Amino acid sequence: MVTAAIATALYTPANFIAGHWRNEGDGTYNTVVDKYHGTELARIPHATAAQMEQAIAAAHAARAPFHKLSAGERSEKLERLAALLKEHEEDLAQLIMQEAGKPISYARVEIARCITTVRTAAAEALRFGGEVVPIDYGAGAGKTAFTKRFPIGVIAAITPFNFPLNLVLHKVAPALAIGCPVVLKPAPQAPLSALALAGLIAQLGYPEGTFSVLLCGIPVAEQLVKDERVAMLSFTGSDLVGWHLKGICGKKKVALELGGNAAVIVDESADLPAVAKSVATGAFLYAGQICISTQRIFAVDSVFDRFRDLLVEEVRKVPCGDPSDPKTIVGPIIDGGHLKRVGAWVDEAKAGGATVLTGGHVVDEAHHVYAATLLTGTSNAMKVSCAEAFGPVATLERVKDFSGAIAAVNDSNYGLQAGVFTDHFPHVKRAHEELEVGGVVINGIPGFRVDSMPYGGIKDSGLGREGLKYAIEEMSEPRLLVY
């Protein structure tokens, strides 16, 4: 557990505005609790409209001095940030376990990824550039042209609770690499990691206004989204909120990393026992509270019965309970409201004719733990199939063949990532050509992500791409020079 002394050293329970901690707010507070024990961790004042204005104005003013930093200086600061994260990695992992309810083994993985994210951004700051444009023909004969990329300006970043530090860094690190100031609104359920990051960044000597973190209500958050001085909105969260914000943000650039109901295909050539183990983890790690958590599983008819039995056996082995136990896979759902929602969705599926193969009940209501649940006989009219469950619930359905599996995966409003378990190379090629998703993972769960790869979805799963190089492209504009 994080002691009070360590917690105090990690973060300040206040808003970080243009380089200064502000303990005052609008008179209301954001209370952060330990997601398993329910104990209070911190109370942070909600920022006022005037404080948001101060943060935006300071970020806008920081553009010029920040842009004057060389690529080498930007890279060096990011390397120092990575070193600070490394210095505090266990304390940060413990903090994430508490504020987000993330199993400690997975929280440690998140911090390791954070360090990689920042170090990769530091490297990209040195190698990111433009291109020579071939125009030496026709009207351009004798001319030379090339582009240089410039920072777009202030970034409004809004992040979710499930990766309270790494998803913040997927916006902040590329912005710091290219020279864009950031105003961040973290998730109210788990903002302490972001405040800890603000304390680390404050040690690095950036121009005042380069980075601000504000907890605020919806009207003040929308003030940030709408402000014309903000050049880009980078949002990760639910599809309903994301598309709403896109509709009110005006002319600025937008990157949306939204939800999904990620699917897996299992064909007749797959190693079924190994796939069952992988899918059981992929569906229920962190109680399924991952955008690319395995939710829909499609097995071809010839192997369905055997795979079903193997998968049920593996799901029943999934450890549930206290996230401080390194063996835990399914910890608490983020709050009581979502615990009830998950239960209601499972009950709706059962009432509609679905069968519970295992799970389907609350394990520990006081600690918001729901059993790893596998359903079959579902339909696309059921929320457990057509919507994002964001809980420890997955569906397993029979399809006639690989063609039927592709059609079933594509029969969704979402398209983030998909996993395909096959040793048949024509199926690999076909999956890449025909699956309507942002990424296809062969012989792996759709939850696979390396922080440098292009990551994002289509349909209701969003637009734009994250991954350090790709996020920098989103946060910069090419400027052409011809002579």
* Longest pairwise C-alpha distance within the chain: 75
Closest CA to 120 of 71, 53, 170: 170
Closest CA to 386 of 408, 405, 412, 407: 412
Beta strands in 362-432 (DSSP E): 362-364, 369-370, 373-376, 393-399, 414-415, 417-421
Residue 458 three-state SS: strand
Amino acid identity for residue 198 in this structure = A
Element (H, E) at 185: strand 182-185
Backbone torsions φ then ψ of 192, nearest 5 degrees: -70, -35
Angle, CA of 234, 236 and 238, to the nearest 5°: 130
Tokens of 362: 């609350």
On the CB side of 354, how many CA atoms lie within 13 Å of its CA? 29
Closest CA to 198 of 222, 178, 231, 169: 169
Whether 158 contacts 233, CB under 8 Å: yes
Q: What does the alpha-carbon distance between residue 286 and residue 329 come to, in Å, rounded to a whole number?
A: 6
Residues classed as catalytic = 257, 291
